[in-house]
Structure 1
């Protein structure tokens, strides 16, 4: 997540619109090892933070495909300093496999003068301790296409060949106007930049509402990569983007089609059970001090309604196609219940 690892610690540049640095490490882990990194069980470690929407995609895809025993996962905490994401959730503040306190150590092990943001998700080569890639859009596609030999039995086809063109087109629109659009609102340095981003964001959400009014999923009749990419923004919308990023024409819960669609996915194994609302809120409200200088984390919204019926089954569709739901999360990867869907205590 590049924009949240600047060397200055500031996220808003006065008078300017937000522009994301999309120059990532393009090395790929492939079945044929063309870049020097062949797919091998146990060799690599996926480093994520539950707070980050881009990393959340990789967490979901890894789980849906059943790659937990093939690709281990390290977890950074929800906040970071100007230098790097850190492993402050682990004993002694060290990743238990890589034995490093900061993700930047893996970046610098391969690129000693690495000039860009230290971002998640990233995949690290465990034997060398070096980062392989942080190219988050490609990471999830490669998990689907290059790691297929190690998919669980019944794994869904998240990037089926006959739908790839449409998935790519829809995902590109979602990235430009929604995934990145909320940041263009939140990090706008002028009224003009904010107004333009706001209009694009809600125009695209209206477009998505129309698209999803008559079909359960974005492309085809099963969950695909496109749904994963939209979900991680929608699930953060009311807790963070509506207020913190001023995306406040409507809450997600006030957009009936998108709200039902998001709840449908949230209640699907592999989606909602990867979401940690407490870490999400702590990240945005604590790290973005130029937007929220008090670092006060709001108590709301009430999130119990994520588990209410959504009624999307009436549109048909098969979440996993000919496949099956993933098994429950591994014990070390379970989100604490209090962070998953917090509910109010009885008065």
Structure 2
């Protein structure tokens, strides 16, 4: 027994009967309005004339002697007025149809350009832009909004393509290493299997870490998490306690401080964010005698979590790229717990999913300062 098809993976279309084009509808509307206006005008003229024209009038001779005849004035006037009115209405009809067709075409020209851009985008051409000229109006706002959407889509698709290529490369590396180790072990039956197994374990652990990081990024992008009040200062303490053995192993001193910083979000994801910041600060540090300082604070309308570490000097340009997936600021990382190049990328994704901002800047003496700002909530009510 099979279930219903997945509606999200299918292209939904609606069968519609063919109808009149919008241009023709506007043309008929313009012509019909012009005809109604003409009829009202002619009706008003006719009623105005009736007020001053008697129904019948006596005919007189030049010497003012009555002839005894009666002339139907209104009937005669109607005989003269009706053909003229019919001609005017016919002219208004033709003028309304022709003029309405031209006006409708000019009014709908921007929609034609927008529709063409939509068709190109449907077939994968996201680089096309409408660039509608003219002054700002409703059509110009629609075209500009559509251009902005295309720009965001193009950037998102390019980012996803780079991410997929980098992820494939990063996943291929441990698989290739594993294959090479197995080939060596197969070719030399007398080789030290313990060393091979240890290296295989290390390589597979890195592949698992990378896969879990990719899955976490996918879940965060969907924003499918429950929000509740979270104190960033408590998360900072928990993360530093968890990573204290790693810091002691590499001679890095951990320091924490600051005030309570209450925000609204997922405790698990925000803990992952804090842990990634501390972990990244530890492994990208001085070979010995390094320092990591994690602080929390409150700004107007926001709470701040800052992680600073000592390390190599970085340029602002390089620091700005560290939040991209698989980017590393220095090759001087420890061989164990070296990460998979997604630490700050995950931090950036979790921050944006919580409607926050992320700032990465090099420290003057070397190292990095990463600042996460999230919306603050009231300690008493738990509301923003």
What TM-score range do you get, normalising by the shorter chain? under 0.3
Larger radius of gyration: 2
Q: Which has the higher helix share?
A: 2
Q: Which has the higher strand share?
A: 2
- Normalized against structure 2, the TM-score is what? 0.23
- Normalized against structure 1, the TM-score is what? 0.25
The higher relative CO (CA closer than 8 Å, separation ≥ 6) is in: 1
